[in-house]
Amino acid sequence: MRTTVGIIGAGPAGLLLARLLHRAGIDSVVLEGRDRAYVEHRQRAGILEQGTVDALRAVGAGARMDREGLRHDGIELRFDRRRHRVDFPGLTGGRSVMVYAQTEVCKDLIALQLKEGGPLLFGAEALAVEGACGDRPRVPFRHQGREDALVCDYVVGCDGFRGVARGAFPAALSRVFERTYPYAWLGVLADVAPSHDELVYARHERGFALLSMRSTSVSRLYLQVPAGTDAEEWSDDAIWSELQRRFETDGWRLERGPLTHKSVTPMRSFVHEPMRHGRLFLAGDAAHIVPPTGAKGLNLAVGDVVTLARALVHEKETGSADLLDAYSATCLRRVWQAERFSYDMTTMLHPAPDGTPFDARLQRARLERIASSRAAEADLAEAYTGFPLE
């Protein structure tokens, strides 16, 4: 099988890249190891930055998002039983975010790819990336019990942290920067209307809590728990009781409903440099991971593929590889700002298991600064709604 751009992984990054290339007249093939049902139902991120919203609209994938997504113009911070709202449009010149689940983004992009785009092969397991520094890299893969190979001008690894693409980088070239956190998130989906119309980030002595949503009738909620926690250790009643404690403030009530899903998300910061080796490019979780506190993972992946698509189109139109050569450095500038913001949000809101009273005072001082300084508040709002797509 032969194509211009071979894309490993049919998550939001791979699917959006295929869509961007299709609209530019560049052919691609997408290989996805899982089946379609898995891709369309795996629970992931749900907050889209302004730039991500704009990118989806630009490729014709925004109609259902605009109908069913929930535009949010701010978030609420809670600490010491106090409430402080951060007004995004007022602090950023009009930017906002959209609550629209990654599962729905994937459904929209899959439907477009199957209707209009190039081949999208589900159940096609990429086995390796070969010849990344040659003129025709190859991706051997297994599909429907047979082995084949995809021969490309370029390969893009959108295959996540455990995919094969990053493993094709020589050890002497790779540099890894990472941090693991001693806590995790216990996340639940509940069939109950959200108890607040915007996201609530709560710092409490017992641990962090987040009130989010998937729709006007489905709530998404999170609790800070020790790393390695088993979700089944928590009963439904215990989860609701703990959420109530951590969100507690005067004149507000947490609405309860049936829990339909429980899972535990580990917390990690990870960056692989560089993001390019020869004709192989990394995008999304294959190159970087952020703790979910800053809502940056999906949005960083979108930034990567928008940057790469522009570079590939530039080469097609001008014959110049300048933007392709700059891909890694361009993306990493944005990645490290997102890593910084996600780390700041995480360490400000999560009491550490070995934290001291001094650490707790510093966390409260950081929150007080945001609540009392327009400059500090604007810095949070600008980062949360999204760093520019260069």
336-370 pLDDT tens trace: 999 999 999 999 999 999 999 999 999 999 999 99
Please list the residues that pair with 5 across neighbouring strands: 28, 154
296 is catalytic: yes
Which is the catalytic residue, given 222, 292, 327, 350? Answer: 292
Strand partners for 213:
219
Closest CA to 11 of 389, 292, 295, 301: 301
Cα pseudo-dihedral 342, 346, 347, 353, rounded to 10: -150
Per the prediction, the chain carries an average pLDDT of 96
Q: Report the alpha-carbon distance of residue 220 to residue 202 in Å, rounded.
A: 14
Tokens of 201: 């980030």
Distances (CA, A) of 336 to 178, 275, 343, 348: 12, 13, 10, 18
Q: What pLDDT does residue 236 have?
A: 97
Question: In the annotation, is 72 catalytic?
Answer: yes
Which among 272, 277, 296, 350 is annotated as catalytic? 296
DSSP conformation class of 153: S
Q: Which of 154, 181, 183, 384 is catalytic?
A: 384
pLDDT tier at 232, thresholds 50, 70, 90: very high
pLDDT attached to residue 390: 65
Place of tokens 């650490």: 359
pLDDT reported for residue 42? 80
CA distance 340 to 15: 27
Q: At what angle do helices 374-385 and 327-349 cross, to 10 degrees?
A: 130
> Across the chain, how many H-helices and E-strands are there?
12, 20
Catalytic residue among 12, 72, 100, 183: 72
Please tell me the CATH code under which domain 5-71+95-177+267-351 is placed.
3.50.50.60
What helix, strand, coil percent values describe the chain, rounded to 5? 40, 30, 35
pLDDT of residue 17: 98
Sequence-distant (≥ 6) Cβ neighbours of residue 293 within 8 angstroms: 201, 208, 210, 342, 345, 346, 349, 350
Residue recorded with tokens 């017992």: 206
C-alpha span between 88 and 179 (Å, rounded)? 29
Listing DSSP states for 18-74 in one string gives HHHHHHTT--EEEEESS-HHHHHH-----EE-HHHHHHHHHTT--HHHHHH-EEE-E
Catalytic residue among 201, 291, 327, 351: 201
Residue 46 has pLDDT above 90, yes or no: no
Q: Is the pLDDT of residue 11 over 80?
A: yes
> What is the model's pLDDT at position 41?
87
Region 322-335 average pLDDT: 98
Q: What is the pLDDT of residues 245-257, one digit of tens each?
A: 999 998 899 999 9
The pLDDT of residue 45 is above 80: no
- In the residue annotation, 38 being an active-site residue is answered as no
- Write down the pLDDT at residue 335: 97
Global confidence as pTM:
0.95
